[in-house]
Structure formats: structure tokens, C-alpha cells
A = this chain, B = another copy of it.
Amino acid sequence: MHPLLKKKGFIIDIDGVIGRSVEPIEEGVRGAKRLIEMGKRVVFVSNNSTRSRRILLERLKSFGLEVDESCIVSATHATASFIAKENPEARIFTTGEEGLKEELANAGLKIVDYEEANYLVVGSNRKIDYDLMTKALRCCLRGVRYIATNPDKIFPSENGPTPGTGMIIGALYWMTGRLPDVIVGKPSKVIMLEALEKLNLRPEDVVVVGDQIEVDVLAGKNIGAETLLVLTGVAKEKDIERAEIKPDYVLPSLNSIF
């Protein structure tokens, strides 16, 4: 039996482990199903900053994984949850899309125009424009609290590289010298602590599974959990040697744990 099967909980990255965009990764889906059938506690974690948990849930269901919303932690949800704990009265201006706004509203948070905001929440937006950037710039200059959903610089879409949330973070940094006060998504601890809370487990009882060394493995290290790198996504065998951060285990896919 693989030593990681002794752990009680699994924090599993979606993209590159369970699916690639709308396509399932069969070996990943099978592995996750078997873990759930064994009675392991499982949460799926995504740095996606444009989709609500509801949409991610639908995607997992389309892959054949029957789970409920409590098993999903997205950067959108974790951002809403973090702010709701820190300041339930926050007045938020966000650059983000509907998926992020949906999660902020679900957490009881108020979304306002930039002039009334005391929070700037930066998330990726495929409809970003000059007006939205101007408003984000002015929030930054005014010194409001500044939260970013995730740090991803480039998003590898089916059609090639496209800008991630990092595009907006970089633009604001260059113009104002400000970086986010808090970044929620992996490798930040913020989203991982949210996942641990959902599992109701301590870091030593969980495994963090992902396909990216600098994102998933680092996120696992940041909370002191053991890490499993799978080779169904971004990282290839040769990347492991070069990397400064070493995963505890490497397997071809999530299902290889069995």
C-alpha cells in the first residue's frame, strides 16, 4: 500500500490532476473516486479566479465525480470567505468576473463602485478594459485594502497562453508600487487553510496533490503537509530535478497511488 493512503485527507488540485479545462483526466478522476469510496476526506482546490464553486461543481459532475459544494475550494470562494471573516462590513470594488462577484455576494459582502470602496479585490477578467483598470488604479492610489484572488501570471488556455490575474497585479505594481496586501490562491497559505478547515484536519493528516511544483507543492509545504506531484499536467519528470522545492512523492497520475 502506498504510504500516502494512511493519510485521512486529500487536498486535490483540479486543473492538470482531475481535468484539463472541460476535458476529464481519466486516471485522475478514477483516483479521486477510489479515495472517496475508501472514505477519505477530499477537497478539490482551484486557483481559478473567474468561476464560482457552483460552476466548478458542475464541471466535476460532468467528469463523473458526484461531490457537493462543501468539497470545493476555489480562489473565488476562499477570497470571499477570507474577507467575510476579516471584515464582514467590507465595501468591495472588484476587477473580477461574475463568478467572483457571485461568491462575494454569497458571503454577504457588499460590492460597490470604486469611489465608495474600502477593499479592492483583483481577479482576472476576460472583459478587462481601460475603465476598470482606471478604477483599480485609483483604489490602489487611495490606499484601500488590496486582496488578489490568485497570483497566476499566465493562464495556459487551449488556444495558447493568455493573461492571468497576474497581469492586473503587475500593471498596478508598475503604476503605483503596490502589491496586494493578501494573495489568496496557491501557493498562499490562505486558500490552503480554508481547505484544511473544510476537511477539519491538521496538516500532518493530509496530502496536497497537484501538477505544479511552484504552485501546488509549494502550497503544501507552506502549511506543512506532505505533497504528491502527479505528471498529468504542467510538471514533467525533468522539472523535478531542476526545482528547488521537492515534492515528497511523484506519481504518473493520482490513480497510481493504488
Contacts and interface: CB of A to CB of B under 8 A. Distances in A.
Interface of A is mostly: helix
Given A125-B130, A127-B130, A129-B129, A171 B163 contact: yes
Contact of A169 (B154, B162, B174): B174
A170 interface: yes
B137 A154 contact: yes
Contacts of A167: 133, 137, 171, 174-175
A128 B127 contact: no
A134 to B, nearest CB: 5
Contact of A175 (B126, B170, B175, B176): B170
A130 B162 contact: yes
In this complex, the interface size class of chain A, counting residues with CB under 8 Å from chain B, is 20 to 34
A249 interface: no
Contacts of A153: 174-175
A39 interface: no
A166 B175 contact: yes
How many copies the complex holds: the figure is 2
Contacts of A170: 170-175
Interface in A117-162: 125-130, 133-134, 137-138, 141, 153-154, 160-162
A175 B152 CA distance: 9
Contacts of A213: none
A168 interface: yes
Interface string A19-44: 00000000000000000000000000
Interface string A158-197: 0011111011111111111000000000000000000000
Interface of A: 125-130, 133-134, 137-138, 141, 153-154, 160-164, 166-176
Nearest first, the 5 closest Cβ-Cβ pairs linking A and B are A170-B174, A171-B171, A153-B175, A167-B171, A126-B130
9 contacts: A125-B130, A133-B163, A153-B174, A154-B176, A164-B175, A170-B171, A170-B173, A170-B174, A171-B174
